[in-house]
A and B are shown apart, each in its own frame.
Chain A
Amino acid sequence: MGARNAAETAEMLQVLDAAVQETRRAGREDLAEKLTKARRQLTSGAWHVLVAGEFKKGKSALVNGLLGIEVCGVDPTAFSAVPTIVRHGTKPAAALVVDGAERPRTVTIDPRKAASYALRGTTDADEPLQAVEVVLPRKLLAGGLVLMDTPGLGGGFASASAAATMRALNLADGVIVVTDASQELTAAELDFIQHAAQACPNLLIAMTKIDFYPQWRKILDLDRAHLADAHLDIEIVAVSSTLRDLALATGDPALNAECGFPVLADRLNSRLTAVHAAESVATAADVARGALRQVAEALATEHAALTEPDQRPAVQRKVEQSAERARQLAGSSSRWLNTINDRFADIQSNLDTNLTERLRRVEGEATRRVKEGDPTREWAEIVPWLQRRTNEELTDAHTKLIESIDDLAGEIAAVFNATASSVGATTAGGRLGGDVAIGQLAGKKGGKLEVGMHAARGWSLSSSVVTTLLVTTLHPGLLIALPITAVLGSVFAYKAVRSYKTSKLDTTRAEAQRAVAAYLAQARMDAARAAQDLIRHGRIRIRDYYLDQAAELVTAAKHEQVATERAAQADTQAASARGAAAKAELDRVAGLLSTVDRMAGAR
């Protein structure tokens, strides 16, 4: 699987290089630049792997073990307070992401101190942190892997921070769930794994501390059986971070083999990388296809204008028309731009209603439980139940939000392409004759309509818009809220609800209700804030994407115009020479295009 991916990636890189040359030759520096970017994305595009699990399972030590350096804070008794996000860079660097009022700001720190800040969770001035970001020149990260160590959950899907973790998982490319060899998977752990696998199917389990627990093989078998019982096909890799440290310190290959990290790194590469690479190749294929088609269209138009002089006025007219439409698309009053504005406003208001309705439902259920029972006796059961219900609703709301942004992206693509299709009307219909490959292509795909559509679908059909487009600006690691939402277990709420029979049942019920309301308000605020970010970034990214597309179409139309004009002025001899050259170029581009199509189809 890994080898096949490597071969595919290598082939795609060749195609991209050739495509860069063709676009340059055609004078499309803008496309060449875009292709170069796609090439960079393919070799080192960021892909995010979240490391999640219960407290004190060894998540931070695992990340340190993978990187071979202490980046994440590890302490026998203290807990990681905030996520640590580690990415590749040529020089080590680190920054604190401080939870600001409007948007987070960053403070540069000594990378060697990153670990202590992650444990502390605050700046030197005691401001709460959102995350610690570290840049390291590590080979493991050179392919774009971004590792994110997260604070422990504290009760799986019923924990206070589970909804935030699920939001992050929705954006992540992969997840390593960490458990340890001290005991078999608990109900809470398995429950979390089930939910996590839904949010992010690219999931691995690491079982840590195998150096310390003699019975780890038995625990491993039990865990595998539990996964099988739950119909989960997930691999468990047994590791020891302690042995890994020793192996790195001594260079002992036997120790390194025993620690399990080579296997874990291999799985990261083969299993996690495979999925990522396949997606990146597809994205690169879309970019290459879009660029090559534009070049092919221009060449085909030029070829037609050169070799069929009687058609020249018609071709010229249509080229002018499409240039006009392209300008319309790029203009500020275009329909697709208005659609984006209107529909995002809809999404925003739907989200508000949706969150309100969902949490009101949960509050109703909680009120019934509190009223029908005795909260002093049942509080310890109500808290996890309430958090789990809230997590369910919020996770579902978040998934729906991503879906609606996805749908919207599809809609924008349709609106955009409805206009764009008439831009490409010039060459639609394959009038170039059977001996030119572009004719088949045009006949099959319908010219620029398809180019535009495909480019748009290319990402609206990939797992989700959000994962491909948003992650670059909206970091999954930053979505993990601090467990401040643990209001229900706070000293205040707890004491108020469970004061020892001094107060009447009515009073404790009222206290319980108040605690529930406060918790839901907090949960709603967190969810709304995350959704707001998602909507804002989604809107910007989708708009920018199509503005770029429109600008490309304008440039493409301009090039076609210039080519047809040049054709009109050329004498017969020059026309036939240029016509032959254009056809040769067209053949090469068509060849590249069919390679791209084959690769896209092979998936």
Chain B
Amino acid sequence: MTAPVPLAARVRSLLGEAARSYQGRPAERRLADAARWLDGPLRVAIAGRVKAGKSTLLNALVGTRVAPTDAGECTRVITWYGYGREPAATAVPRGRPPVRLAIGDNDGQWSFALDGLSADEVDLIDVRLPSNWLATMTLVDTPGMGSLTESAGRRTHDFLGDTGSVDAVLYLMRHLHSSDVDFLDAFHDTDAAETNPVNAIGVLSRADEVGGGDPQAITNAKRVAAGYRADPRIRGLVHTVLPVAGLLAETAATITADDFAGLAALAAAGAPACAPLLLSATRFVAPYNAVPVSPEIRARLLGKLGIYGIRLSLDAIRNGTADTAALAALLRAHSGLDELRGLLMNQFAGRRDVLKADGALRLIDTVTREDPIPAAPRLRQAVERLRVGAHELAEIRLLTELRVGSIPGAPEQLAAMEQLLGGNGTAVLDRLGLRRDAPREDVQAVLTGLHSHWRRVAQNRLSDPALARAAQVLQRTCEGLAAASNAPGDQRRPPGQEVQSQNGAGSRG
């Protein structure tokens, strides 16, 4: 039951109409930008409190140590990382033309610096890198909130509060108590960001530090994240919460043969020789003759891995991890980055068109309220019509309603609804809870069963009105899935939600 004109096209024409209506006014540029971004890669902001490990995670996702990281607070300027064939970086100072920044290239490890510019006068930095991940999604690194140098965090607040500035948000948080005033704040830096359980993911970052050096840190972090996921308040804010050890993930992507050699030499020196070194970070870098690795190299290794990562690596090498690639794979597996990547692909990239359309419609809504020109009511009506007509939007709205608990029902029933809406993955088989190799007949059978179930619920006069409305949406979802799975060249995905490989051409204003 696919609409005749794809959602993206309808949104684009509405954006065009809005831009024309706002010609010569400040909103025109925002609307035009949104139209341009409709085709571009998904824009994902990495947000969170100060020192949550945002830049480290960004480096891990991009696969290079490009975002500067430090023990102290570091990121002061909102920085965009997009795809480009050649590495490049541009700073946009307030009220002045953009300045090209020199990019350092150390064997594929890029770096840049704000030479001569102060962070306070730079509005944003735009970095382009030939990274595969950036072809799928543009990442935005933001200064953290809660710093003693508050001005930088304020910028993030304004940036995320700006409707339509990004399509999705990753909220990074450290281990917090649920009564902490920052606890819920951590999952939506500002309520104005209008993130919802569809376009926001929580990340329990610095997972290797949970419990302050506990050898079971990652396991503990998984438990903590599971506790967060079960919190109804958090379910209403983010899709899910995953633990990620950013430093391990970053180093998995950037570890060198020299690093491995150093670690292997330490491992070869034997556990008793290493034991005194591993007592504390200070001892690890102190002069010590019982191992054939210099304090300088040890300091480098410690910076890249932390005490937890060093212990993990030495154990792994002693247990047969033989080379750099194997160690990198082990670190990545431990870091939880693969799970996060999978989720980002499935949850964000898999819904790219819908997320972008939803953001664009919200932007039109906001613009027409902030600047109520005579055409504003008409534009708002058009937005409403589009929303009502587009089943994809109805689906994500229902997903959110399920999460914030405004649909009555037993937990299993709600979980089944969420799965059908793509909460566990947007592919047809994921939605139906079937294995990848399920035969077509099974798909048909399950679909038919679900369809008639939700039709009954929708038509039952005794159903709660909210539940009945939800059932109608689900009934249509089943119809859409049936059409998709019968389509020639079965992609087993609902229409309009294929992951498109982007060339990163979508330039920003």
Contacts and interface: CB of A to CB of B under 8 A. Distances in A.
Interface in A231-269: 240, 242-243, 246, 255, 258
Given A155-B182, A183-B51, A212 B213 contact: yes
B47 interface: no
Interface residues of B, number: 60
Contact of A494 (B49, B184, B303): B184
Nearest to B185: A380
A159 B181 contact: yes
B191 A379 contact: yes
A215 B71 contact: yes
Interface stretch (B112-120, B279-287, B333-341, B431-439): B279-287
B281 A185 contact: no
A77 B224 contact: yes
Given A183-B51, A214-B303, A489 B281 contact: no
Nearest to A503: B406
B462 interface: no
B150 interface: yes
B279 A182 contact: no
Contacts of B416: none
A151 to B, nearest CB: 9
Interface in A48-88: 54-56, 58, 75-77, 79
Interface size class on chain A is 35 or more
B45 interface: no
A10 interface: no
B302 A500 contact: no
B380 to A, nearest CB: 15
A495 B404 contact: yes
B188 interface: yes
B150 A76 contact: no
B150 A498 contact: no
A186 B209 contact: no
B191 A377 contact: yes
A54 B177 CA distance: 9
A111 interface: no
A58 B175 CA distance: 13
B190 interface: yes
A387 B181 CA distance: 9
Most chain A C-beta atoms within 10 Å of own C-beta, residue among B71, B150, B181, B196: B181
B280 A211 contact: yes
Contacts of B303: 214
Interface string A468-502: 00000000000000010010010100110011101
A234 to B, nearest CB: 15
Contact of B220 (A77, A210, A489): A77
Nearest to B187: A380
Interface stretch (A18-26, A218-226, A317-325, A512-520): A218-226
B190 A380 contact: yes
Interface in A160-215: 160-161, 180, 182-188, 190, 208-215
A154 interface: yes
A376 interface: yes
A206 to B, nearest CB: 14
A152 interface: yes
B281 A213 contact: yes
B400 interface: yes
B184 A209 contact: no
Contact of A154 (B181, B190, B213, B306): B181
B147 interface: yes
A158 interface: yes
Contact of B280 (A182, A183, A240, A498): A240
Contact of B51 (A182, A246, A383): A182
B449 interface: no
B72 A210 contact: no
Interface in A536-570: none
Nearest to A76: B211
A190 B233 contact: no
B473 to A, nearest CB: 14
Interface in B209-245: 209-214, 216-217, 220, 223-224, 231-233, 236
Nearest to A259: B280
A499 B406 contact: yes
Contacts of A215: 71
B73 interface: yes
Nearest to B194: A377
B319 interface: no
Interface string A371-402: 00000111111011001000000000000000
B191 A218 contact: no
Nearest to B176: A55
B191 A378 contact: yes
A272 B282 CA distance: 29
B179 A483 contact: yes
Nearest to B181: A155
A218 B70 CA distance: 10
A211 B213 contact: yes
A216 interface: yes
Interface in B31-84: 49-51, 71-73
A56 B280 CA distance: 19
A155 B180 contact: yes
Nearest to A221: B72
B306 A214 contact: yes
Contacts of A180: 212
Given A186-B146, A222-B72, A77 B180 contact: no
A113 to B, nearest CB: 22
B191 A154 contact: no
B211 A77 contact: yes
Contact of A258 (B49, B232, B282): B282
B57 to A, nearest CB: 16
A362 B51 CA distance: 33
A359 to B, nearest CB: 19
Contacts of A159: 179-181
B191 A380 contact: yes
B363 interface: no
A184 B185 CA distance: 20
B331 interface: no
Interface string B260-289: 000000000000000000011111110000
A226 B50 CA distance: 15
Contacts of B220: 76-77
Most chain A C-beta atoms within 10 Å of own C-beta, residue among B180, B303, B405: B180
A502 B282 contact: no
A345 to B, nearest CB: 37
B177 A154 contact: yes
A243 B146 contact: no
B148 interface: yes
Contact of A210 (B175, B217, B280, B302): B280
Nearest to A161: B179
Given A212-B281, A489-B179, A500-B196, A188 B146 contact: yes
A154 B280 contact: no
A384 B181 contact: yes
Contacts of B231: 491
A58 B181 CA distance: 19
Most chain A C-beta atoms within 10 Å of own C-beta, residue among B146, B179, B210: B179
Given A211-B279, A380-B185, 19 more contacts: A55-B180, A152-B180, A155-B180, A183-B51, A183-B73, A213-B281, A218-B72, A226-B148, A376-B191, A377-B190, A377-B192, A378-B191, A380-B184, A489-B181, A489-B184, A495-B404, A495-B405, A498-B236, A500-B400
The 8 closest A-B pairs by CB, nearest first: A76-B211, A155-B181, A215-B71, A154-B180, A211-B280, A183-B51, A214-B281, A212-B213
Interface of B: 49-51, 71-73, 146-148, 150, 174-185, 188, 190-192, 196, 206, 209-214, 216-217, 220, 223-224, 231-233, 236, 279-285, 299, 302-303, 306-307, 400-401, 404-406
Interface of A: 54-56, 58, 75-77, 79, 152, 154-155, 158-161, 180, 182-188, 190, 208-216, 218-219, 222, 226, 229, 240, 242-243, 246, 255, 258, 376-381, 383-384, 387, 483, 486, 489, 491, 494-495, 498-500, 502
21 contacts: A56-B177, A76-B217, A154-B180, A155-B180, A183-B50, A184-B148, A186-B146, A187-B146, A187-B148, A188-B182, A209-B213, A211-B281, A212-B307, A214-B284, A240-B280, A243-B279, A379-B191, A380-B191, A384-B185, A489-B178, A500-B196
